[in-house]
């Protein structure tokens, strides 16, 4: 019998955990290694999280950890308002460009 994990959100809805998703601790460990690829993806202009994920060939669920970490340390920033789907576009900051945002 297959084991399926269910989580209950704050509003009481139940979600099935995707067994294909990696442990968040594994994803977070890759943050430093993924900074340069994320910054290179942003070198040509602002991108949303799904667009960055597509450029990197990685799941959005992983990219969000890396981009939010980079935002915290001033390497990327939001560029304007959220789009119709609720995604902000992100752009490399001057510090991010110095760190490796240009190929």
How far apart, in whole angstroms, are the C-alpha atoms of residue 67 and residue 4? 29
Q: What is the pTM of this model?
A: 0.74
The CA–CA distances, whole Å, from 1 to 19, 37, 51 equal: 15, 40, 37
> Per-residue confidence at 19, pLDDT binned at 50, 70, 90?
low
Domain range summary for the chain, segments of one domain joined by +: 20-101
Residue 65's pLDDT is what?
A: 92
> Per-residue confidence at 24, pLDDT binned at 50, 70, 90?
confident
Sheet of 76-78: strands edge to edge? 47-48, 89-92, 76-78
Residue 12's pLDDT is what?
A: 52
Q: Quote the tokens at residue 37.
A: 């690829």
Q: Has domain 20-101 been given CATH number 1.10.3720.10?
A: no
- CB atoms inside a 10 Å sphere around CB 71: 16
pLDDT in tens, 42-79: 998 999 999 999 999 999 999 999 999 999 999 999 99
What mean pLDDT is reported for the chain?
A: 82
**Between 26 and 38, the higher pLDDT residue:** 38
How far apart, in whole angstroms, are the C-alpha atoms of residue 59 and residue 73? 22
- At residue 47, φ and ψ (nearest 5 deg) are -140, 150
> Per-residue confidence at 26, pLDDT binned at 50, 70, 90?
confident
């Amino acid at each position: 019998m297959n084991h399926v994990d269910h989580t209950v959100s704050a509003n009481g809805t139940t979600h099935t955990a995707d067994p294909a998703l990696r442990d968040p601790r594994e994803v977070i460990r890759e943050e430093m290694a993924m900074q340069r690829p994320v910054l290179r993806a942003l070198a040509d202009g602002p991108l949303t999280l799904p667009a960055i994920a597509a450029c990197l060939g990685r799941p959005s669920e992983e990219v969000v950890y890396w981009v939010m970490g980079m935002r915290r340390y001033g390497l990327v920033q939001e560029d304007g308002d959220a789009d119709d789907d609720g995604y902000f576009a992100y752009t490399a900051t001057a510090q991010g460009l110095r760190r490796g945002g240009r190929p």
